[in-house]
Amino acid sequence: MKKVIIFITIILVLFSPRFYWMFKSAAALDIAVVDKTVPKKDYREHNGLFWILENKKIVKPNGELYDIGRDYFGYDPYEQKETVSYDVTRNVDLIYIADTYGVYSDDLQDLPEGERTQKVYGGMDLLEWNAVMESKGKDTTLIAEFNSFAEPTDKVTRKIMERNIGVVWSDWIGRYFKELDSSEIPPWLIRNYENQYKEKWDFKGPGLAFVHTSDRVVVLGKHDVKDFVSVQLTQQGEKQLDGVSSSNYMYWFDIVSPMEGSDILAEYELHLTSKGEEQLIQSGIPTKFPAVVHHAENKTYYFAGDYTDYPKKSLAKWEKAPLLLKGFSNDDSQFYWSTYVPLMNEVIEKIIEQKRW
C-alpha cells in the first residue's frame, strides 16, 4: 500500500503542471491573425503565437481554444488556396499580422530549393489593409512583424501601413548565419553577391548578410563579426516590459526607424570588428537599430523580425512550461523563450487588464 501511495504521489507531482493548466480559468480575447506564408502544414509562421495562446489558456469569445489551422486569414496548405480575405467587421481585442510574404511555387515542393519562383499568393493589398484598420477600435492592439509590408506588397499600401504602424522601413533586411557555406544560404543571395562583386562566394564560418530591395547585398564574414546579433532592451523597454530578457537573435530582421510618437523598446546590436563596422557605414547600414517599436497612443507594436516563427508544439498545456523550456533553450531558441514569450505575455496581460476596466 505504501508503494502505491508513493507512486501516486510521484505521478501527481510530475503531472501537477498539466492538472493546474486544466483547472485554471480561461481568458476570452477576440483575436484576428493574418498569415499569408503557410506553404506547409506546420503553420510555422504563426505557431509561436498560438503556442502562447494555448499555454495562457486564451480562448475565443465562444469559449473554444484558438485553432492554429483554422483561426487565421491567409493561405490554406491543405486546399492550397487562400482561406478567405480579411473580413472582420467588428472591433477586436488584438490584430496580429504575422507574415504577408506569401507562398511561391518552390515552397510547395517536398524539398524546396530556396529559389525565388513564381508567386502563388501573397502580399497585402490596400482593400484588405483598410478592412484591418476598420476592425481596429481605439482599444484594439495591433501587432505587425517583419515582412508585413515588404515585397510583394505594393509601395502605396506599404506607405499607408508604415504610417498606421508607426515605423519607416529602410529597404534593408538582414540575417546572422552560423555558417555562410551551409544549405541555409538562399541560392539567390549567393548569385546576387557573385554578380555584384564579380567574385565567387567563398565564405565559411559565421557571418551577416544584408539585402536591399534593389537586390544589392552586403556580406560580413567571420573576420568582420565577433558574435551573434543580440536584442537588448532600451531604458524605455526595461520600464514597460517586466520579465523580458535580452537575448541572441538568429533569424531574419528588417531595419526600420520609428515615426514621431513611437518608442523603441528593444534594439538589435551588431557585434562587429572595426573593419565590419566600416563596411556597414559605407553602405549606409547602422550597427544598432530598432527591434521592438511601440506607439502607446495608437496601441501598435512593430516586431522587426520573424518572432512568432517557431516550431515548438509540445507542453503547451503545461503551466509554467515557458520557464522549463527557457532553461533548456539553445542559441536558436533562446530568443523565443527569453524575449518573445515574456514580451507577448506582457502585451496579452495588458489587453486582459484593459478589458476588465
Q: Would you state the torsion angle of the CA atoms of residues 235, 148, 188, 278, taken in this order, to the nearest 10 degrees?
A: -30
Residues 6+ apart with CB under 8 A from 63: 26, 28
Residues 78/68, Cβ–Cβ less than 8 Å: no
Average pLDDT, the chain: 92
d(C-alpha 236, C-alpha 291), whole Å: 13
164 within domain boundaries = yes
Which of 321, 294, 323, 196 has the alpha carbon at shortest distance from 236? 294
- What single-letter DSSP state applies at residue 107? G
Q: Using pLDDT thresholds of 50, 70 and 90, give the confidence band for residue 7.
A: very low
pLDDT digits (tens, 9 = 90+) for 125-181: 999 999 999 999 999 999 999 999 999 999 999 999 999 999 999 999 999 999 999
- Residue 66, pLDDT above cutoff 90: yes
9 within domain boundaries = no
343 within domain boundaries = yes
pLDDT at res. 79: 85
Domain that holds residue 296: 25-356
75 within domain boundaries = yes
**CA–CA distance from 19 to each of 13, 66, 312, 318 (Å)?**
10, 20, 21, 8
| Helix H or strand E segment including 333 | none
pLDDT digits (tens, 9 = 90+) for 225-264: 999 999 999 999 999 998 999 999 999 999 999 999 999 9
d(C-alpha 143, C-alpha 97), whole Å: 6
d(C-alpha 29, C-alpha 62), whole Å: 10
10 within domain boundaries = no
15 within domain boundaries = no
At residue 23, what are phi and psi to the nearest 5 degrees? -100, -5
DSSP letters for 188-228 = HHHHHHHHHHSS-----SSEEEEEETTS-EEEE-TTTB-S-
351 within domain boundaries = yes
**CA–CA distance from 253 to each of 63, 145, 174, 249, 317 (Å)?**
35, 9, 5, 9, 30
- Residue 6, pLDDT above cutoff 60: no
CA dihedral over 111, 115, 118, 119, signed as positive or negative: positive
141-165 per-residue burial string, b: 16 or more CB within 10 A, e: under 16? bbbbbbbbbbbbbeeebbebbbebb
C-alpha cell at 110: 517536398
**Number of structural domains the chain divides into:** 1
pLDDT at res. 80: 81
8 within domain boundaries = no
Question: Mean pLDDT across the stretch 66-77?
Answer: 94
Q: What is the pTM assigned to this prediction?
A: 0.93
